[in-house]
Structure 1
Amino acid sequence: MDVLGLIIGVVVLPASTHDNEAGIALLDQAAERCGMRLEKVLVDQGFKDAVIIHGAVNDITVEVVRRNPDDQGKGFVPQRKRWVVEQVNGTLMLHRRLARDYDHRPDNAASRIYWAATAGMLRRLTAPSPAWRDEMELAA
């Protein structure tokens, strides 16, 4: 995902799959779609060296976002670099079909993620400005 929250790629795997497999599959998908424009990827601490090495082979810098050692024992502390991703995931989970595991096929689940992301983009693009609402109230 980029800073705008637009989805570059989606990989749906069983829960028994390790983060490294998902990370490698997602790196491949993102590299294919973005080409040379993809320079850096941020991952959490669940990813191991295999994803970093795979990124280096594809000329992509993979940075592991680590917790600040000063925040140990403070409970949940948002990390600025990961907050954009968490915000997008939270917004996607507002869609009922994504909040439950209804789909038995990974490709169906991935398509629902794209649908939910498209609905979010359309909502942002077509949201009326406050000035437009004011004009409608005056006309009524």
Structure 2
Amino acid sequence: MSGRKPYKSDLSDERWALIEPVITAWKARHPSVSGHEGRYEMREIVNALLYQSRTGCQWDYLPHDLPPSGAVKYYFYKWRDDGTDQVIHDLLRWQVREKKGRPADPSLVALDTQSLHAAAGVPAKTTGRDAAKKVPGRKRGLAVDVLGLVIAVVVLAASAHDNAAGAALLDKVAAETDTVQKALVDQGFKNTVVAHGEQVGIAVEVVERNPADTGFTPQPKRWVVEQTNGILMLHRRLVRDYEHRPATAESRVYWAISDVMARRLTGSSTSWRGA
């Protein structure tokens, strides 16, 4: 860290060790034309990404003792476009599942969507208004396993029906793994999603709400996706959608959950609510 005072979001040596091999291999595959190794440590680039995820700051407001925004942007977008962010995420997810005595990939997922306000400057062509929730912005869809770990994420205009998000999530889940046999959804998803599940080989079960329940009542097994949404809200960059491209918003989810999983694997924690 070049002698600077650490931030709470910084990677510990143990957490950096979990992802360093992926970053080092990436660097080896992408040498500069001049052969220069680069001015900034890769660990510091990742620290800057995690700082922004946790605090929600704009690019130009990254602290001066972290690498400049131009350098951090370069790697963030490169890793978004070539899938390195998801490679890191998936490797950590497999390790968390193995630590819990589970196979690498799940057989059951739960799906849910969440509508988020879009920040000023987000292109109107990628946003819309959720008519039911009265939210102008984007809709984030998650597919998670029984541990609440993300299997797939999609980001659409908030005006998109849950059916569209559900179908897109099922497509991604089916493309990622051939082990998922069943998906649990709430009553916001309709028969269209059930039918789409049949097409990709995943049985979709609509979990009915008990009419006698009042207020928020966690539903068995499906509640884990609500928990994951709550964890994402502790990363302030994800509380509102600031990203010009939906793919960037999806990458932010992978980095946030990767941070959570790395902490679980190393037994480290932070005061999320107090910081």
TM class, shorter-length: 0.7 to 0.9
Output the TM-score relative to the length of structure 1: 0.85
More strand by share: 2
Please give the secondary structure, in 2, of the residue aligned with 1:10: strand
In 1, the alpha carbon distance for the partners of 2:222 and 2:146 equals 11
1:112 to 252, 259, 268: 252
Residue 117 of structure 1 aligns with an amino acid whose one-letter code is: I
Letter of the 1:24 partner, please give it.
A
Q: RMSD of aligned C-alpha atoms?
A: 1.1
Alignment partners' CA distance in 2, 1:116 and 1:18: 25
* Length, aligned pairs only: 125
Q: Which residue of 1 aligns with 2:200?
A: 58
Q: Amino acid of the residue matched to residue 13 of structure 1?
A: L
Alpha-carbon distance, 1:105 to partner: 0.8
Greater fraction of residues in helix: 1
SS in structure 1 at match of 2:260: helix
Distance across 1 between alignment mates of 2:240 and 2:198 = 36
Aligned to 1:94: 234
Alignment partner of 1:10 out of 145, 153, 158: 153
Matched, 1:20 2:163: yes
The gaps in structure 1 that reach 5 residues or longer are 129-140
Deviation at 1:81, TM superposition (A): 2.4
Q: Could you tell me which residue of structure 2 aligns to residue 83 of structure 1? A: 223
How much identity, in percent, do the aligned residues show?
Answer: 63
How far is 1:70 from its partner? 2.8
The runs of 5 or more residues in structure 2 that have no matched partner are: 1-143, 269-275
Partner residue of 1:39? 181
Structure 1 stretches of 4+ with a deviation exceeding 3 A read none
CA distance in 2 between partners of 1:114 and 1:108 (Å) = 10
Q: TM-score, normalized by length of structure 2?
A: 0.44
What is the distance in 2 between the residues matched to 1:69 and 1:97? 36
Could you tell me whether the CA contact under 8 Å between 1:65 and 1:81 is conserved in 2?
no
**2:146–2:221: 8 Å Cα contact kept in structure 1?**
no
1:69 shift after superposition:
2.6
The DSSP-based 3-state class of the residue aligned with 2:155 is coil
The one-letter amino acid paired with 2:149 is L
**Aligned mates of 2:262, 2:234 — CA distance in 1:** 15
